[in-house]
Structure 1
Amino acid sequence: MKSSSAAVTAKSIVFRSLLISLITLSHSAVGASDDRPNIIVFYTDDHGHADLSCQGVLDDIKTPNVDALAKNGVLARHGYSTAPQCIPSRAGLLVGKFQSKFGVEANGSSLVGFDNETTIAERLQSAGYVTAQFGKWHLGRGEEITEHGFKHVFNQNNGGKFAANIELNGKDREMGIVPPKAYHIDACSQAAAAIIDRYQDDPFFLYVAYRAPHVPLDAPRKYLDRFPSKMPERRRQALAMLSAVDDGVGLITETLAKHNLTEKTLIFYIGDNGAPLKIHKLDAPGGGPGWDGSLNDPLNGEKGMLSEGGMHVPFVISWPGTISAGQVFDHPISALDVAATVAELAKVESKPGDLDGVNLIPFLSGRKEGAPHEFLAWRWVAQSAIREGDWKLLRGGEREYLYNLKSDLEEQNNLLDQHPEIADRLRERLSRWASQLDPPGLAYGAMSAPANDYFDFYLEGKPAPPLREKYQPKSESKPKNIASRWIIRGGTMKDTSEGLQIAPPKPGGKQTPFIARNGLSLVGPVSISMVLKTEASGQIGLSWRSSADKDFAAANRVNVAVEKSDQWQTIQAKLPVEAKIIHVRIQVPTGTTLIKSIELKPATGKTVTLVQ
């Protein structure tokens, strides 16, 4: 009995060895004359439709490198994400199947369904591609990204520690949590360029998912300085973060050109959903939740809606030499098309039902005419929608709207009563499609209070709901009495309706005042964000004392340059201390400085607002 079992085992080993040898030979043969393209997917975060300069909507945005992709390829005027929210849209993109078919309906949904699906990275890895992920993941733990088909991981998406198994220079390291060495957008771009350098002779798939311009808004001064005009600070931050993204696109495309890979690389640039506006587009201090500064113009609505403003996103495709340059493609396409396109180009086998998208290359290269899709459909919680040609049916709870997007892209005129037969046809088609989802149906749950507010305001034309009391503008007659919580040295301090005003003791004096605050308990390292304006250029000095320090040490200081301006400017820095910070000092330049907000974000625990 044992000898028989051993014989079977031996045969199995021999069979597996032969199979591996055949696969290796097959991949070697492909590699010897590999005409399959490299693939790069740039995926931005809460990036409004208006915010590429090649869209021609607004003139304050500057994205010359993404514009170059469009000039050398295709600007898709009607490109869509799969959801108006981060997690489901990313799940759909990476699997290539509408995410509600495997249970990832919305943020907060179980990721078990996603974990059981085969990602496009897994398919490409099995076909001999080198695969790498950079930036935001949002589909589970960073250390587990390799389980979804990515050989290399550089999961930095903020100023904190992150998961990685490569260094900034593309060299291998053991998977683990590492501290940042550069601004997250720049770091992802540098690491991606390094991987191109490393694998220039191999087919590769890079998923570069910048966390921009998603909050917290954190652009460094060098990017903010590119936008000196008068504008809301959150708008300036969004433009600056997108400028950093554009620089990254430029670095990566230059690296491709350096290795003569431009015509061998297919590039997608797509937003994950529309920009959040919170209706009011409140220019609140700091970089926390709310409007991210991006804009969806001229589309109606915002993130969290299946109106055009929620999921009609920036969408550019470039493959010089294969796709004709300078195209504007007006047929609707979907982020789901990425996986279907890539799978076919990479000669990856898939079964019917594996992928929901369409290979776009025949349509973009002129081999096929017409629209790639008969229709596109969506479901997100209590909302569902279908677009068939120029017609779109949108449902939200019990509400229903019919729009002709050719004449009314802004979704201002509900034609439901004028064309009930079109609405009936679209509703029936949408219902058939929704019966395939898990669970089936046109809705997954009830409309939330914010969703109802959005539909009231954007689609019904009702007045905006009032701001919550905490966001109401403060009156001069009700000072915030912030000054009483600070100690001032070398100057004077008073509360104003705009913020904390700090001035030298005498007008024109040369002293540089500082304010101090004790009684803190912040686990380091601590990130600090300040919104201010000052009458004098100079430096903001940020000093701290930890629980281990008896006094302020000279080494415990960070300086940040500020410019004389009557406009609000945001400065950000990190206080590099591992111990608990208990005491801070903030030194300002000579002249009068007005501070609107100070936020301290510890390594763990809640952000502390010291001025608001």
Structure 2
Amino acid sequence: MNRRKFVKVCGRGSLALAASSLWPGGLNSLLARSGSGDKPWNIVFILSDDQGWNQVRYHGVSDFYDTPNIDRIAHEGIYFTDAYTAAPVCSPARASILTGKYPARLHLTDYLPGNRYPYAKLKTPQQVRALPLEEVTIAELLKQQGYVTGHFGKWHLNYDKNYQPGRPGDPGSQGFDVVYTSVKPKPDADPDKDAHHAIEITRRTLEFIEHNKDRPFFAYVSHHVVHRPLMENKDLINYYKTKPHHADPVNNPIMGAMIKRMDWGIGKILDKLDALGLAERTVVVFFSDNGGFKYLQDQAPLRGGKAMVFEGGIRVPFAIRWPGVIQPGSVSHVPVISNDFFPTFAEIAGAQVPDGSVDGVSLMPLLTGGGTLPERALCWHYPHYHRQGFKPSGAIRWGEYKLIEWYEQTLLNEEHQVDLYRITEDMSENNNLADRMPEKVKQLREMFHKWLKDVNAQMMTVNPDFDPEKQYWPEKDWPQDKDYEYLDMLHPNKQG
């Protein structure tokens, strides 16, 4: 369905979906329960960058990172222990959030613009150069419901980062009324001058909320924290260096300082909602776009990290506060994925999503406590080489099990083509069951391959230009004196 037809179907005359079956009186009853009458819910969506699952205090993994305001969202609402991003790197993850679709369906499966690795064993597919304009974003859908929409911070969904007002592919062309875009700092930036723009992103968000306090709004707050280059105020870093166990692999003092800065900003947003009397009719969400960079901060108890389909690359922190609807202190162990935000926000806003137009499902049953989600598999497709990751791969989680397929081994007919983990009992992915459970491997592999066909995924092919001496060069012409930083050249799944 194209953008025009989708928006026509999802116009303001549409009513809520499943809420009518969960609460007597449907969505209007939900609104009444919050004390907001007939006013639509505001939505504040806060997105961190490369923040690991273990870098929030509420998960109880480490008390090193100070996240009182992120924890406040979790404790005053619900947090999900098994929340996933649809991709282990930023651009496709963000595309899935905005469209509700798998990156494989969008043909946007790597960060933009990505690297080709022209001499690697496999040839990577040519993905789209930007999030296609014909795709309907959640911002566009909410505008149809009368919302004013704002984007503040990182975008990374166009072919370059030279953002300009009105340029196709930038936020203003994808449904956002008020736009502030920023990019990560250069390595020699001054850490005392808001290098990662956390203060400015917060300031712009507060201004947006203040100016639109009398109308429904959607604020997309997109931080650069805790992406490289790592830098922050020296005194704040020293505070973390004095903490116990600061040298443990899970703990990184610079990241701690960066996260604390972002968390302060989140606290200011929560305080602003309180001061304006908006907290009781505003849904606040916190999510990370993908896992952390394992060589700078261990993702334990999860394995791997960014650019990998191990849990460390795709399982992320996710919490949501919805006053009067979500029971405070709730915890869900149901697997959910970033595709689910689109249909969830649509239902909160009272918009209808045409059947089959998105891959996600509404999380309303989990948020209201009125039920659970339909049984489904979650899938990942990463047909790329990445200088911070392992080899190209895909994965499927269904029920208790997760299967990973290694594309080089499959296409070259080599050994160790798949891993199988009982993920509900082995979140660290240490015990590979593939050799012991061939029937389960067969079942999940068939399901995964069917999904690849259903979403029309772009597939890798054997590369006729393979050169073992140049296989880790990101591009065809790479200076001899320039580091190509491919950190894991050995196949990783022989562990366990």
TM interval, shorter chain, is: 0.7 to 0.9
Which residue does the alignment assign to 1:460? 494
Task: Verify: 1:395 aligned to 2:397, yes or no.
Answer: no
CA displacement 1:282-340 (0-9 Å, x = unmatched): xxxxxxxxx3xx44110011111111011111111111211011111101001111111
Q: Distance in 1 between matches of 2:298 and 2:53?
A: 7
Query: Cα offset for 1:421?
Result: 1.3
Which of 130, 133, 136 matches 2:148? 130
Count the aligned residue pairs. Answer: 404
Query: Contact conserved, 1:299 with 1:411, CA < 8 A, in 2?
Result: yes
Map 1:296-311 to 2 at 5 A: 296-311=299-314
CA displacement 1:242-284 (0-9 Å, x = unmatched): 111111110001111112221211122111111112xxx3xxx
Q: Distance in 1 between matches of 2:140 and 2:365?
A: 24
Q: Distance in 1 between matches of 2:433 and 2:374?
A: 26
- Distance change >3 Å, CA 401–CA 351, structure 1 → 2: same
Query: Contact conserved, 1:78 with 1:332, CA < 8 A, in 2?
Result: yes
Which of 173, 190, 198 matches 1:147? 173
Query: Contact conserved, 1:102 with 1:438, CA < 8 A, in 2?
Result: no
| SS of 2:405 mapped into structure 1 | strand
Query: Cα offset for 1:372?
Result: 4.9
% identical equivalent positions: 31
Q: Distance in 2 between matches of 1:354 and 1:253?
A: 33
Which residue does the alignment assign to 1:156? 182
Which residue does the alignment assign to 1:61? 65
Which residue does the alignment assign to 1:97? 101
Which residue does the alignment assign to 1:184? 197
| SS of 2:132 mapped into structure 1 | helix
Query: Cα offset for 1:353?
Result: 2.5
Task: Verify: 1:377 aligned to 2:403, yes or no.
Answer: no
Tell me which structure has the larger Cα radius of gyration: 1
Query: Cα offset for 1:220?
Result: 2.2
- Distance change >3 Å, CA 101–CA 25, structure 1 → 2: closer
- Distance change >3 Å, CA 182–CA 388, structure 1 → 2: closer
| SS of 2:290 mapped into structure 1 | coil
Moved more, 239-248 or 111-120: 111-120
| SS of 1:226 mapped into structure 2 | helix
Which of 237, 240, 254 matches 1:227? 240
- Which structure dedicates a bigger proportion of its chain to strand? 1
Which residue does the alignment assign to 1:208? 221
Q: Distance in 2 between matches of 1:183 and 1:274?
A: 18
Q: Distance in 2 between matches of 1:267 and 1:213?
A: 20
CA displacement 1:205-256 (0-9 Å, x = unmatched): 1111100110112212453243132645992111111111111110001111
* Moved beyond 4 Å, runs of 4+: 23-27, 30-33, 180-183, 443-458
Which residue does the alignment assign to 1:419? 437
Which of 124, 136, 154 matches 1:118? 136
Query: Contact conserved, 1:45 with 1:214, CA < 8 A, in 2?
Result: yes
Which residue does the alignment assign to 2:282? 265
Q: Distance in 2 between matches of 1:412 and 1:183?
A: 35
- Distance change >3 Å, CA 380–CA 182, structure 1 → 2: closer
Task: Verify: 1:250 aligned to 2:250, yes or no.
Answer: no
Q: Distance in 1 between matches of 2:14 and 2:351?
A: 13
| SS of 1:39 mapped into structure 2 | strand
Q: Distance in 2 between matches of 1:243 and 1:455?
A: 34
Which of 50, 64, 87 matches 2:54? 50
- Distance change >3 Å, CA 70–CA 148, structure 1 → 2: same
- Distance change >3 Å, CA 111–CA 364, structure 1 → 2: same
Which residue does the alignment assign to 2:369? 366
Query: Contact conserved, 1:267 with 1:318, CA < 8 A, in 2?
Result: yes
Which has the higher relative contact order, 1 or 2, with Cα contacts under 8 A spaced 6 or more apart?
2
Runs of at least 5 residues in structure 2 that lack an aligned partner in the other structure: 1-7, 16-27, 114-126, 165-169, 187-192, 384-391, 410-416, 473-483
Q: Distance in 2 between matches of 1:255 and 1:203?
A: 15
Query: Contact conserved, 1:96 with 1:336, CA < 8 A, in 2?
Result: yes
Map 1:442-461 to 2 at 5 A: 454=488, 456=490, 458-461=492-495
| SS of 2:424 mapped into structure 1 | coil
Which residue does the alignment assign to 1:342? 345
Which residue does the alignment assign to 2:293? 276
Which amino acid letter does the alignment assign opposite residue 425 of structure 1?
A: Q
Which residue does the alignment assign to 1:541? none
RMSD: 3.0
Please report the TM-score for the alignment, with normalisation by the length of structure 1.
Answer: 0.61
Which amino acid letter does the alignment assign opposite residue 380 of structure 2?
A: W
Runs of at least 5 residues in structure 1 that lack an aligned partner in the other structure: 1-19, 161-179, 282-290, 463-612
Which residue does the alignment assign to 1:321? 324
Query: Contact conserved, 2:309 with 2:404, CA < 8 A, in 1?
Result: yes
